[in-house]
Structure 1
Amino acid sequence: MRSISSLTSLVARQNRSRAVAAFAQIRHSHGLVVPYTHVAVTPFVNGVPSEQVRELHPVEKKWDFWTSSDAFLGAKPTVWGLTQVPYGEVWVLENGSVLKEGNHICLPSKVKAVKNIHTVSFGVVSPALKSQDGVSVNAYAVVYIKVTDAVKSALYVDPESNNFDSERAAAKVVKRTLEQNVATLSVGSSGSLLDSAASALAQKVESALKAKSADYGIEVEGVEIRGAFPASLNIPDRLRALDPPLLLDDQAGHGLAADYWTSVLTPAFFQKYKYGSRKEVVTPAAVSLEWSIPSPPDYHHFNELPRQNSEPASDDKKKLAAAH
């Protein structure tokens, strides 16, 4: 009986987690939700996509790493009154306060960063550099970390770039370590490395990160070297193209109200009013001739259709007389 009850509670927890996860995916939405789905049909070879799935905007080519973390969300959650923090997240406010998962009653405040309590991954691609073979290559590493101190991670300021967040700083450490060791690598035409070379480079990256883990408020859980690929394969662009397209400032959908479509979808025969002294009726003018008949119609219009001509022709007069 105990095993059955524990199994029931486990299923209930899993269903509740799925419901909370589904809610968390749309918590930043407004009235019009347009889902985006990327179907993973691109095959991967040696840990990288075999082709570029879409063209990139020039702004996207400036990105130097990808991450599964929510710390770099463009739109931060709103904290006002009753606030719910989704499962698996920690919100760090600008004043240094921390909101863990659950419901909170808060004064108005801004969210500095959204941190994940579970393991996150990020990938870093080095710029094209000469390898030991004299081939121009991009080294690619994937790192797995866990944030242990959300406040320290969110409020960390990089002394070189003056940018916030230690996860961004950790990506810079990985990039710098790759740049320093590309010249010692021997690569083939496909970008594959010997297991010993990849393992040695992974240990160097992990050691560089662990030296900063106390300052960054993170814990390094693993480093994976995917390869050092020839620059002709254009691996950085292939990786960036897997993300949803970037919404540009001049693209439809930016800066619009949540109900912007109502003026387009409202039928023309509806009336819109401005109440008060500025009442304005925007009902379109009627195009049917029936609207020119007075209501109730006078006696000589009972058996007639409305006509455009005010004075009927002579032949028409005879026809009307015969009809009467």
Structure 2
Amino acid sequence: MQTKAYAAQSSSTPLALTTIERREPGAKDVAIEILYCGVCHSDLHTARGEWAGVRFPSVPGHEIIGRVTSVGGDVSKFKAGDIVGVGCMVGSCRECSSCNHDLEQYCRGPNGFQGTYNGWAHSSDENTYGGYSAAIVVDEHFVLQIRHQESDLAAAAPLLCAGITTWSPLRHWNAGPGKKVGVVGIGGLGHMGVKLARALGAHVVAFTTSPDKREAALALGAHEVVVSKNAQEMAAHTDSFDLILDTVAASHNLDAFTSLLKLDGTLTLVGVPETPHPSPSVGGIIFGRKSIAGSLIGGIAETQEMLDFCAEHGIVSDVEMIKMQDIDNAYDRMLKSDVKYRFVIDMATL
């Protein structure tokens, strides 16, 4: 079925209105009218061809909130009228060890997980198209219940990526009461990391390079804020963190943060820099049995857990609503960090 969408036709052309073809819903499919779509840095990298393997035309968007319009005959979890979400995945092999343990984001099938956009399409070499569109059709397994109040739906959209990207490592490394958790970078990911770690009961320390962000970080829920360029402030936290969540997507010195970990502490990276981080010093890691780890979004069950937790605790992202036609300007502002902290597209403007 033909669907309006905003697409990049090449890496050098602005996104513009186009028409894409969505499949007719199958027996296990959910058809969704898209109401809101968050804007992720991955959208920008893809639309502007900054990552390898981008196929054009490209319709980005994987922070989707919408309303179910119809369901297939074998769908049991959703009905027309339900408010639902779609995140970074719309498929996986469903058979490998990762998928069988609710870790679809680490699918070991021949193609890996199926990205909501720029992913493999069923039985063809075609692309998948994301949430910068009027509607989407998704297998029931990859559709999520949204239980937030209607007034919070737009601000809930970034939970589908920024929320789960920070929630998954916080849960995996047991952030909670009695734990000291650091969050490096106060942007789209970092601001969610601070909110979620605080709500989980951890003692939260936000790290920023800018003294101007101190009050904002405290307002998000940080107990303390450290300006990472201030050597004295950093030294005061040596050997004290159970977990540090590093959300920064620029190359930087990891030693500054591994030195702050306590015995058996972990520095978890969720930001992907354009160029590699400088090689960390091994001695400090060995003598503290410390770990440098990575984490990628979350599985479907874990994402639903996060959404339910956020609905129960009234947690949403801090967002700025934009029209679909303003997306390229939003990308330019993102590059300047000129947003607090996430853009969300009102898809009624499409």
- Per the normalisation by structure 2, the TM-score is 0.24
Structure with a larger share of its residues in strand: 2
Q: Which has more radius of gyration?
A: 1
